[in-house]
């Protein structure tokens, strides 16, 4: 059974700092990995999707990497802003359509 | 409206009540999903529909009854719920149910069972 772990569970940083969020998964037979953002009381917004054949994806200040063989992914956020404060969720998809989620990392960026 | 919408946004119900959650997607997708998000637990997939046909029931208790009349609408009928069913219920949709497609999520319904 696939399990996804996210470390740290919570992170507080000053504005402008670069930061890294970590995600690990137990079964490397994945189809893709996605990073989502969830604002309090709201749904999820997809940030980046990395196919299993890819090593990384970039969108603006966000960069996500994937090391499938070791079961790890990182989300790098450059020059963090208060508006980046949210919960960041990692999810992996197997050969079927099921997404397995981690519990998330609660990020607070202080002005 | 665009994207995925859910109504109501908040719901309080007693254990003997019957209520329904509604989800509508305006993205032309053919697959729709119900997820449950409980405090301090990962999102849990509940049901999957593809072209109106249920393709997944993730061992969900029968007090939760899904309905998908067409590819744009998804309902979750609730009856005789338990307090531990209190959670955020999220609907999502995607092109195809294959794992390569991004799922788009609605804002969720916050349910409290008393």
Three-state SS letters, chain A: CCCEEEECCEEEEECCCCEEEEEEECCCCCCEEEEEEECCCCCEEEEEEEECCCCEEEECCEEEEEECCCCEEEEEECCCCHHHCEEEEEEEECCCCCEEECCCEEEEEEC
User: Which of B29-33, B72-76, B92-96 is modeled with the greatest confidence?
Assistant: B72-76
**Residue spans of beta strands (DSSP E) within chain B:** 4-7, 10-13, 18-25, 31-37, 44-50, 53-57, 64-70, 73-79, 87-94, 104-105, 109-113
Residue numbers of chain A with a pLDDT score lower than 50:
none
**Interface contacts A/B by beta carbons within 8 Å:** 60
Q: Which of B30, B49, B103, B87 is nearest to A100 (CA)?
A: B103
Please report the pLDDT score of residue A86 as a whole number.
97
Please report the pLDDT score of residue A6 as a whole number.
97
Residue in chain B nearest A50 by alpha carbon: B100
CA distance A41 to chain B (A): 8
Q: What is the DSSP letter of B31?
A: E
CA B31 from chain centre, in angstroms, equals: 12
Q: Decide if pLDDT at B110 tops 70.
A: yes
Please report the pLDDT score of residue A98 as a whole number.
81
Q: For residue range B12-54, what is the model confidence (pLDDT) as tens digits?
A: 999 888 999 999 999 999 999 999 999 888 999 999 998 888 8
Please report the pLDDT score of residue B99 as a whole number.
64
Which pair of structure tokens corresponds to residue A62?
């966000």
Interface test with A, best of B10, B97, B103, B104 (most A CBs within 10 A): B103
Please report the pLDDT score of residue B98 as a whole number.
61
Average pLDDT, chain A: 94
Paired sense of beta strands A32-38 and A86-93, if any: antiparallel
Residue in chain B nearest A48 by alpha carbon: B102
Average pLDDT, chain B: 91
Q: Do A97 and B102 touch (CB under 8 A)?
A: no
- Which among A44, A100, A103 has CB closest to B105? A44
What percent of chain B shows pLDDT beyond 70?
95
Please report the pLDDT score of residue A42 as a whole number.
83
Give the number of other Cβ atoms within 10 Å of residue B93's Cβ.
26
Q: Per DSSP, what are the bridge partners of residue A56?
A: A65
CA distance A20 to chain B (A): 20
Q: Do B42 and A94 touch (CB under 8 A)?
A: no
pLDDT bracket for residue B57 (50, 70, 90): confident
Please report the pLDDT score of residue B1 as a whole number.
53
CA distance A111 to chain B (A): 27
CA B106 from chain centre, in angstroms, equals: 9
Burial pattern A14-29, b for ≥16 Cβ within 10 A else e, equals: eeeeebebebbbeeee
């Amino acid at each position: 059974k696939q399990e996804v772990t996210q470390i740290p569970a919570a992170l507080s940083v000053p504005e402008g700092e670069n930061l890294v969020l970590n995600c690990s998964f137990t079964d490397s037979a994945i189809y893709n990995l996605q990073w989502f953002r969830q604002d309090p009381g709201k749904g999820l917004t997809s940030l980046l999707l990395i196919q299993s054949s890819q090593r990384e994806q970039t969108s603006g200040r966000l960069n996500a990497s994937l090391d499938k063989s070791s079961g790890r992914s990182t989300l790098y956020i450059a020059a963090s802003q208060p508006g980046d404060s949210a919960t960041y969720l990692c999810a992996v998809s197997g050969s079927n359509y099921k997404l397995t989620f981690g519990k998330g990392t609660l990020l607070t960026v202080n002005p | 409206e665009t994207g995925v919408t859910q109504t109501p946004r908040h719901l309080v119900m007693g254990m003997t009540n019957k209520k329904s959650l509604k989800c509508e997607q305006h993205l032309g997708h053919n697959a729709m999903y119900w997820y449950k998000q409980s405090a301090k637990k990962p999102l849990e997939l509940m049901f999957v529909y593809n072209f109106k046909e249920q393709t997944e029931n993730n061992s969900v208790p029968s007090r939760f009854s899904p309905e998908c009349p067409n590819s744009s609408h998804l309902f979750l009928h609730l009856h005789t719920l338990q307090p531990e069913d209190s959670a955020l219920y999220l609907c999502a949709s995607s092109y195809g149910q294959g794992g390569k497609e991004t799922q788009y999520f609605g804002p969720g319904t916050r349910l409290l069972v008393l």
